[in-house]
């Protein structure tokens, strides 16, 4: 409540358009914040405005209505994540590497912005119907892309042919989601980097080789994915 985004005092060189885009972003960010604290329905426009440090009415200057605002919250968060996942899928590596890459992306996102991830995890794809927010669309599209990947892996003989690819995809994201939920809900209280790394590895490993066949990580290295993709992810 004390200080509101005092960071980066805007240089006078900013154009009006820049400042407007900024405002929009500030409001969006505030919405994510409030949203993650109070959930979809607990999120009142008044709170968002207060959090963003702007007047009530201004929210309506930038967003048609509450639904559009929240839709944007989802879209902006999801967009980012979705893009990275798609990039992993597109690498064309062995499916194991790609799975590891996807898991990596998800956990990195959490490390960077736990709040945002929480919102996405706890609200995306939920809310049964209700005329509201079309989160399902974005959600489905990740699932479908991953399912495509598994189908391809089956053609290449990398995974058994009898598996239903869509189910593989949902399970992958289910494992990731719940792995993260452990943190989000405080079931796994240590949120230090090492814990997150370990959880990430375990999720990938278990998903790939099963509970019974899971192997311990070769060393204490926290960023284990095979050579070629390591940098791109870490740098972004």
Residues of this chain that bind DNA (CB under 7 A): 1, 16, 19-20, 23, 43-46, 54-58, 60-62, 65-67
Q: Does 137 bind its own copies (CB under 8 A)?
A: no
User: Taking the complex as a whole, how short is the minimal distance between the CB of residue 52 and DNA, in angstroms?
Assistant: 9
Which parts of the chain fold into alpha helices (H)? 16-42, 45-52, 56-62, 66-90, 95-112, 114-123, 135-155, 165-184, 193-213, 230-235
Q: Which is nearer to DNA, 17 or 187 (CB)?
A: 17
Please answer whether residues 44 and 51 qualify as being in contact, where contact means their C-beta atoms are separated by less than 8 angstroms. no
Residue 187 carries which DSSP code? S
Q: Does 16 bind its own copies (CB under 8 A)?
A: no
> In terms of Cα–Cα distance, which of 144, 127, 141 is closest to 71?
127
Q: Which two tokens stand for residue 172?
A: 């992958």
Residue whose structure tokens are 């284990």 = 224
Q: How far apart are CA 182 and CA 179, in angstroms?
A: 5
Q: Does 197 bind its own copies (CB under 8 A)?
A: no
Q: Does 98 bind its own copies (CB under 8 A)?
A: no
User: Taking the complex as a whole, how short is the minimal distance between the CB of residue 231 and its own copies, in angstroms?
Assistant: 26
Q: How far apart are CA 183 and CA 161, in angstroms?
A: 34
Q: Does 215 bind its own copies (CB under 8 A)?
A: yes
16 binds, among DNA, its own copies, none (CB under 5 to 8 A by kind): DNA
What x-and-dash track marks residues 145-174 binding its own copies by CB under 8 A?
A: -------------xxx-xxx-xxx-xx-xx
Residue whose structure tokens are 């995974």 = 159
User: Taking the complex as a whole, how short is the minimal distance between the CB of residue 41 and DNA, in angstroms?
Assistant: 8
Please answer whether residues 32 and 73 qualify as being in contact, where contact means their C-beta atoms are separated by less than 8 angstroms. yes
Of 57-65, 79-87, 204-212, 228-236, which segment contacts its own copies by CB under 8 A? Answer: 204-212
Binding stretches for its own copies (CB under 8 A) = 36-42, 95-96, 99, 118, 122-123, 125-130, 136, 140, 143, 158-160, 162-164, 166-168, 170-171, 173-179, 181-182, 185, 187-188, 198-199, 202-203, 206-217
């Amino acid at each position: 409540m004390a200080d509101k985004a005092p960071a980066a005092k805007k240089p006078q060189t900013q154009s009006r358009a820049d400042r407007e885009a900024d405002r929009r972003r500030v409001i969006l960010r505030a919405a994510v914040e409030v949203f993650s604290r109070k959930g979809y329905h607990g999120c009142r426009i008044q709170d968002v405005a207060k959090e963003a440090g702007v007047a009530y009415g201004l929210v309506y200057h930038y967003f048609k209505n509450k639904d559009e605002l929240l839709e944007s919250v989802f879209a902006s968060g999801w967009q980012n994540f979705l893009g990275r996942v798609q990039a992993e899928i597109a690498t064309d590596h062995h499916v194991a590497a790609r799975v590891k890459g996807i898991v990596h992306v998800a956990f990195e996102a959490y490390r960077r912005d736990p709040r945002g991830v929480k919102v996405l995890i706890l609200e995306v794809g939920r809310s049964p119907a209700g005329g509201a927010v079309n989160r399902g669309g974005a959600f489905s599209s990740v699932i479908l892309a991953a399912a495509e990947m598994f189908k391809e892996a089956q053609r290449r003989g990398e995974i058994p042919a009898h598996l239903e690819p869509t189910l593989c995809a949902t399970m992958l994201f289910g494992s990731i989601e719940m792995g993260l939920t452990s943190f989000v809900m405080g079931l796994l209280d240590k949120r230090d980097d090492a814990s997150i790394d370990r959880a990430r590895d375990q999720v990938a490993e278990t998903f790939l080789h099963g509970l019974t066949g899971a192997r311990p990580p070769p060393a204490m290295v926290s960023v284990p994915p095979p050579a070629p993709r390591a940098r791109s992810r870490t740098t972004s």
